[in-house]
Amino acid sequence: MVFRWLRRRKSSSDLARLPSGPRQEGRGAGEAACTGCARTARGTKPVPTCPACGTKDHGLVEGAVARDVLRDGSFATHCLGCRQVTFVFEPDMVCSDCLRLLPDLNERLRKRFGVHGPGSTEGLPCIGCGLKEQTPDMEQVVECPHCPEELVFAQDDFPRQGAFLSCTGCGRAIRIPPTVWCPDCGLNFRRQGIDDLVRKANA
């Protein structure tokens, strides 16, 4: 599944500037350790694990999470397994020196969840589409279920009841089901599973 965003790409001046790097001690780069959290350059980074259902989230970008926590005071997001806001990162979970997650991150997440429970969904992107509001100028690209040709359809004028598209590769009429819309907010296309939905609709 590919989303094509028809918007100006950010220039380098638009991007947040991060510190040049962690303060390190030790001789070799592979052995150097951050003075703040003691993680080495080659150390295994913790994979955020949902304290409610155990789902691991490999998609979270460590540096971005740390930056948001230090800038805003916290960062929260849904677990894609149980769909609760169980990933609530707070300043005591990140190292301000190297902008990385602390080695005992998951223990801290469990303790926080045990005391406070799930976080609030207010202000968070929709879990179904990953967006906070209806987003214009977005196209969806899927592969034809019967040939290698790509089919492209725009969200702005896509009917809620679904549609049929004519494949220029094999000439067949391909059904795009209404379930391509986000099942949670209904404002945008869902962010996962559209290729599978199209294949099943045309099996």
Q: What is the pLDDT of residue 165?
A: 95
Q: Average the pLDDT over each of 19-28, 30-39, 100-109, 165-174 and give the range with the smallest value.
A: 19-28
Does the structure show a pLDDT above 50 at 38?
yes
Domain ranges of the chain: 33-124, 138-201
Those residues with Cβ within 8 angstroms of residue 49's Cβ, 6 or more apart along the chain or in another chain? 55, 56, 57, 106, 109
Does the structure show a pLDDT above 60 at 23?
no
Q: What is the pLDDT of residue 36?
A: 84
Q: Which residues pair with 173 in a beta bridge?
A: 166
Per-residue pLDDT band for 30 (boundaries 50, 70, 90) equals: low
Q: Which residues pair with 151 in a beta bridge?
A: 142
CB atoms within 10 A of CB 173: 9
Q: Is 25 helix (H, G, I), strand (E, B) or coil?
A: strand
Task: Note the pLDDT tens digit of each residue in 68-115.
Answer: 999 999 999 999 889 899 999 999 999 999 899 999 999 999 999 999
Structure tokens, 48: 């955020």
Task: Note the pLDDT tens digit of each residue in 152-199.
Answer: 999 999 999 999 999 999 999 999 999 999 998 899 999 889 999 999
Q: Which residue shows structure tokens 């800038």?
A: 71
Phi then psi dihedrals of residue 125, to 5 deg: -65, 155
Q: What is the pLDDT of residue 24?
A: 42
Task: Note the pLDDT tens digit of each residue in 113-162.
Answer: 999 999 988 888 888 888 888 988 889 999 999 999 999 999 999 999 99
Structure tokens, 82: 């149980």
Does the structure show a pLDDT above 80 at 9?
no
Buried b / exposed e over 61-73, threshold 16 CB at 10 Å, is ebeebbbbbeeee
What's the rounded Cα separation, in Å, for the pair 151 and 198? Answer: 11
What's the rounded Cα separation, in Å, for the pair 83 and 52? Answer: 10
What's the rounded Cα separation, in Å, for the pair 171 and 165? Answer: 10
- Using alpha carbons, list the distances in angstroms from residue 12 to 8, 9, 67, 71, 200: 12, 10, 17, 20, 42
Q: Which residues pair with 152 in a beta bridge?
A: 141
Q: What is the pLDDT of residue 21?
A: 42
Q: Which of 69, 80, 145, 133 is nearest to 102 (CA)?
A: 69
Q: What is the pLDDT of residue 122?
A: 86
Rounded to two decimals, the pTM is 0.61
- Do the beta carbons of residue 132 and residue 77 sit within 8 Å? no
Per-residue pLDDT band for 19 (boundaries 50, 70, 90) equals: very low
